[in-house]
Amino acid sequence: MSENKAEDFKGRAKEAAGAATDDDDLKNEGKMDQASASVKDKAGDAVDKVKDTLNRD
């Protein structure tokens, strides 16, 4: 499992635990973990596209 997918999974678990225990801080922390993983995935995709474009020449 990639680091970003693990972070997303961890975030989903925190969000669910926060919702189950009515802990808004934990729920929000989980959402932030998920958002962070998403941003990292998108940044990695952008870097890959740039590398592919540069390697075409």
- Give the model's pLDDT for residue 57: 63
H helices of the chain, in order, are: 3-21, 24-55
- Give the model's pLDDT for residue 3: 86
Q: What are phi and psi of 2, to 5 degrees?
A: -70, 160
How do residues 45-56 score in pLDDT, each as one tens digit? 899 899 999 998
Contacts of 28 (CB under 8 A, 6+ apart): 18
First to last CA, the chain: 33
How do residues 5-36 score in pLDDT, each as one tens digit? 999 999 999 999 999 999 999 999 999 999 99
Question: What residue type is 48 in one-letter code?
Answer: D
Q: What are phi and psi of 56, to 5 degrees?
A: -70, -30
**pLDDT tier at 40, thresholds 50, 70, 90:** very high
Whole-angstrom distance, CA of residue 23 vs CA of residue 15 = 9
